[in-house]
Structures are given as structure tokens and as C-alpha cells.
Structure 1
């Protein structure tokens, strides 16, 4: 669970790297997670070894095999992973709340959370903000739907 890595990740980013209240602290840590490792490992393990063996017979070095054989085959899975990670990062509330303490640079979910006060809740503002937060994700998904479905289907059991 995310709660297990939250505090060590905060200590590493804020104290060791001194990146608190920066955009780098908001963007980079969510990119490195176990879901991406699992997705890409599964993608590469499903590729036929015959393709790699044929490239080796042709005298291609390992890094070129990775760049010109494996990565193009993994493109649908990379696109699906990018969409999933973007969605998770867009909806993340706890990490931006913890790492960013400046009111002027709040992420959209954190700013939406400020509309809930101790004694008053601005329901109209919350609902309008929720719609505004949903529209960009719908646009991204509609534009990249073909890649997302291809990537998810590539990881399915045959």
C-alpha cells in the first residue's frame, strides 16, 4: 500500500534531496512505482525470444536490441502505463498535500479540498471543480483510447 512508502518517500524527497515545495517533487516520485515495473516486466517477458535471437545472429548489440526491437513492441504497454500513471497522479491528493505547503502552487485536488471548511462546505464550488477536474482526463483518455486499449489487450492472457 501507498501508506507504507509515503513517509520514507517524503523524508527522502524533502530532507535528503531538499525538493519540498517544488514541481519536481510533485512529478518525479509518482513515476517510479511498482505498477510500472510490473507492467513493463510483463510486457518484456511476453515478447518472443526468437526476435531477440534473430537480432543477435545479425550481430546487433544488446542495447540496440532493446531500443529498436523491444521498445517498439512495448509501445502499446508504455502508452497504457503512461495513461494510468497520469490518471493516478492527476487524482493524487495525499502526496501533493504533504510535499507542497505553499498555497499558490496547490494541485487541483488539493485546491478543491480547501473548499471544505470546518463549519461551511461550498458544495457548488466543489461540484464545479469536480467537473473541471474530470474534463481534462476525459480528453486525454479519448485522444489516447486506441493506445490504452491496445496496451491493456497486449497484457491480457491469450
Structure 2
């Protein structure tokens, strides 16, 4: 269930665009100084795209957290259901457990809210990074 969300095309495209926006002169200067490709990647490129990685992490986490159809199709065991599928099971043919749905909605919102609060500055920096033209 996790593997399809790891190879997300939005993530690949978003990170590709961010790596292409890095100044080539900075990478060339590191090569001239004798740094290898792995060192350039981990010491120069990754710290520069860290805000974009944090923004992407928040976006993809939210997308997979709110996914309903894929877990509904794949998971057959009731104990392995994700939160949105479990919330959907509270709606019956003749009765709806509104109290349970409201509590469940708050509980499923809290992890995303905590993640956003911790990564807020990276998220804002990553989203606004592409808005400035050099």
C-alpha cells in the first residue's frame, strides 16, 4: 500500500524543477575545488533544496493521509483500515454516527496540523521559492 505513493510523479517533477533551478556556477565552483559528485549533492544541492523537500513532504503526506479509494480497494482486513476508510465505515444505510465522525475528523486532522507547525517555515519558503525570477 505504501509503494505506489513513494513513486509520486508530482514529487519527481517538483524536485527535478528545484534541482534545475540551482545555479550552475555554484556547482561548477565546487567541482573546481575538487568536490566529488556525491559531496556536491549532499553538501551543496540538498541543503539548498531543503525547503522544497519539506514543502513536498507536507503536500505528499497530506495527499496520502487523505487517500480514500486506494486503501478501500486494497485493504480487506478491518483492523488495517486507514483513518478515512474507518470514518467512512461509520456511515451506515440507516444510521450515521455523527459524534464518532466528528471525533474521528479532529483526530485525523491533528497529525497534519502538528507536521505543518513544525515545518511551517520550510513549507512557506519552499512554495515561494519559485516565485522570484532572477
TM-score by length of 2: 0.92
In 2, are the aligned partners of 1:77 and 1:155 still within 8 Å (CA)? no
Cα displacement (A) at 1:31: 2.0
Question: Which stretch has the larger CA shift, 72-81 or 113-122?
Answer: 113-122
What is the match of residue 100 of structure 2? 125
Q: Give the CA RMSD over aligned residues.
A: 1.3
Q: 2:18 aligns with which of 33, 43, 58?
A: 43
Structure 1 residue runs without a partner (length 5+): 1-24
Moved segments of 4+, more than 3 Å:
none
TM-score by length of 1: 0.79
Please give the alpha-carbon distance, in whole angstroms, between the structure 2 residues aligned to 1:156 and 1:99: 39
Please give the alpha-carbon distance, in whole angstroms, between the structure 1 residues aligned to 2:115 and 2:64: 13
Cα displacement (A) at 1:118: 1.7
Please give the alpha-carbon distance, in whole angstroms, between the structure 2 residues aligned to 1:97 and 1:143: 30
What is the match of residue 40 of structure 2? 65
Please give the alpha-carbon distance, in whole angstroms, between the structure 2 residues aligned to 1:119 and 1:157: 54
What is the match of residue 110 of structure 2? 135
What is the match of residue 116 of structure 1? 91
In 2, are the aligned partners of 1:40 and 1:78 still within 8 Å (CA)? yes
What is the match of residue 128 of structure 2? 153
Q: 1:86 aligns with which of 58, 61, 65?
A: 61
Cα displacement (A) at 1:84: 0.7
Structure 2 residue runs without a partner (length 5+): none
The count of aligned residue pairs is 133
Cα displacement (A) at 1:156: 2.2
User: Deviations for 1:31-69, whole angstroms, at most 9, x for unmatched residues?
Assistant: 211110111011111110001110111122222211211
Please give the alpha-carbon distance, in whole angstroms, between the structure 1 residues aligned to 2:114 and 2:56: 17
